[in-house]
Amino acid sequence: MKRWTFDDIPDQAGRTVLVTGANSGIGFEAARMLVKKRATVVLACRDAKKGEDALRRIEAERPAGQAVLAALDLADLDLADLESVATFATRFAQTHGRLDLLINNAGLMVPPLGRTRQGHELQFGTNHLGHFALTARLLPLLQATPDARVTVVSSVSQRLGRIDFDDLDWQRRAYRRWPAYGQSKLANMLFALELQRRLDAAGSALKVTASHPGLAVTDLGRTSGIVRVFESLLGASPAEAALTTLRAATDPAAAGGSYWGPAGLTGLNGPPVLAQPCKAARDEAVAARLFDASESLVGVAFDFSATTGSKRAAA
């Protein structure tokens, strides 16, 4: 089987892409490569200085003669603050006439116990709820854009996760960083699959895919010594690891609901291929319950009523 590489990414001219957490690691590499494929890429970053540095680095590599990279205020998306998400989404919709690709990439990995501005456990609140709310608020723009796609970045750590509906925010249990991370990444996967099911039921043509990067040498695992050890032994470069996200995001053959990861024997490195979500991620009853609970927690509901760009409208 032919190895899927950067050269297989289709031309992205005329397409608008939003990448969360694009200032470093896999998000940065995904944004950088999409710019090289002529996309207009918006870097959604919480830290203004890091975002500006990333923007300069990408612009320096932009092919000669290519249009200036489009970007919002790079300080204005904090996924740990639902008010920031709402403000960002409103401004994005006002300043952009289309959204062809939303890559929900940003995340935290095993930090000490923390809380979002609204009081949610930091990993669940950032990795899942922030992206859930962002996608819901940008759904009308995505629905109105032909051939649009949402790509959700999960992790092999979804296998460690369990959705505890009695204590999603770790208010009653003693906090454990790895199970909390696993819950957040399992929630990412459940969200991607359930969103695709609900879009299909509504007759929407919007496609949702998911990916995991395997083990990559990035700053994500900086709070875990064991992660640093494994990264040094088995980790792929951020550019290599970003290819799973990019295949999920751009491969015309990637079906809605598909999940992509590295081809290596351990699933930790290698070229991007189809992967299998863990058993818990395929539980449709849990996915539906989590989706409904998440709408309540973020205070915004998905509106599937739009027909522009839908399968029905195209028929």
Catalytic residue list: 181
Classify residue 20 as exposed, middle or buried by CB count within 10 Å of its CB (0-12, 13-18, 19+): buried
Question: Which amino acid, residue 233?
Answer: L
| Cα pseudo-dihedral 47, 136, 88, 180, rounded to 10 | -20
Maximal CA-CA distance, the chain:
57
Q: Position 204: which residue type?
A: S
* DSSP helix/strand/coil, 101: strand
d(CA 239, CA 310): 34
Which residue in this structure is represented by tokens 């990795």?
127
What residue spans of the chain are helical by DSSP H?
25-36, 48-61, 82-95, 122-123, 131-143, 177-201, 225-234, 238-250, 284-298, 311-314
